[in-house]
Amino acid sequence: MMISEVYHVAQGLTDLLFPPRCLACENTPGGDTPFCHECASRITFIGDALCPSCGIPYGTAGGDRHLCGDCIIAPPPFSLARALGVYESILMSAIHRFKYGGKTAVGNALGDSMASREYDSLHVAGYDLIIPVPLHPSKLRRRGFNQALILARRIAKKYRIPLDFTTLRRTKPTPAQVKLSGDDRRKNIRGAFAVETKRAVEGRRVLLIDDVYTTGSTVKECARVLMRARASEVAVLTLART
């Protein structure tokens, strides 16, 4: 028997003994997402009715592709931002299990979903470098893993793009953004990141990965320092956005 056959038999046996579960409920997944049909139907995947710059979804499909108010007032430092789905119900509970419940297997499956999706105007294969939004070392110690790195690793693996999780560093332990308003988030995050070695990003097209895009203040600050280190482009891909 070939090694690949042994692997398939072993995998088949594992699936039989421990059938994979939907990431949100206990049912068996179907189709090509790690969710069961019922749960998958409750996820709002983001289509092409969005702001071409920051990717905020518009309610109606097929509307004209105009910039949103925020991007007109303050053009973001990234070229574009896209997300897999809206941060609500099923996707939100899966992210919570991953991030706060420490279920890294859920994170791997979510990363695979991000990697296999096609995005409006964002062609993952065209990037030179994948960089996850870093956590401050003190937070990393508390959580035990960086959720953005787990997602980024799956995308980098699928597209065979180098993954760099050391060049961009979080130098300031910032309080959680969750309870802050947009303006306070921006002030809170200013100067929180640094590029360790400029040479690593200079002239490169960088794809920045994070779990959730809320006001975008975190990814904007990361994009700003990467562009200042002379990256040729920074695009953003997140799992979900509010």
Q: Which residues form the interface with Zn ion (CB under 5 A)?
A: 22, 24-25, 27, 36, 39, 51, 53-54, 68, 71
Between 41 and 116, CB nearer to Zn ion = 41
DSSP 3-state assignment of 214? Answer: coil
Between 57 and 134, CB nearer to Zn ion = 57
CA angle 32/133/194 to nearest 5° reads 160
Give yes or no for a contact between 85 and 24, defined as CB atoms under 8 angstroms apart.
no
Minimum distance from CB of 81 to Zn ion (Å)?
8
Between 24 and 131, CB nearer to Zn ion = 24
Both tokens of 81, joined, read 């931002």
Between 78 and 165, CB nearer to Zn ion = 78
Task: Give the separation between CA 125 and CA 207, rounded to whole angstroms.
Answer: 10
Task: Give the separation between CA 241 and CA 213, rounded to whole angstroms.
Answer: 5
Minimum distance from CB of 9 to Zn ion (Å)?
28
Between 167 and 218, CB nearer to Zn ion = 218
Minimum distance from CB of 200 to Zn ion (Å)?
29
Give yes or no for a contact between 110 and 159, defined as CB atoms under 8 angstroms apart.
no
Give yes or no for a contact between 237 and 119, defined as CB atoms under 8 angstroms apart.
yes
CA dihedral 194, 200, 206, 212 (to 10 degrees): -40
Total residues found in the chain within this entry:
242
Instruction: Read off φ and ψ for residue 107, nearest 5 degrees.
Output: -60, -40
Task: Give the separation between CA 69 and CA 232, rounded to whole angstroms.
Answer: 26
Between 31 and 203, CB nearer to Zn ion = 31
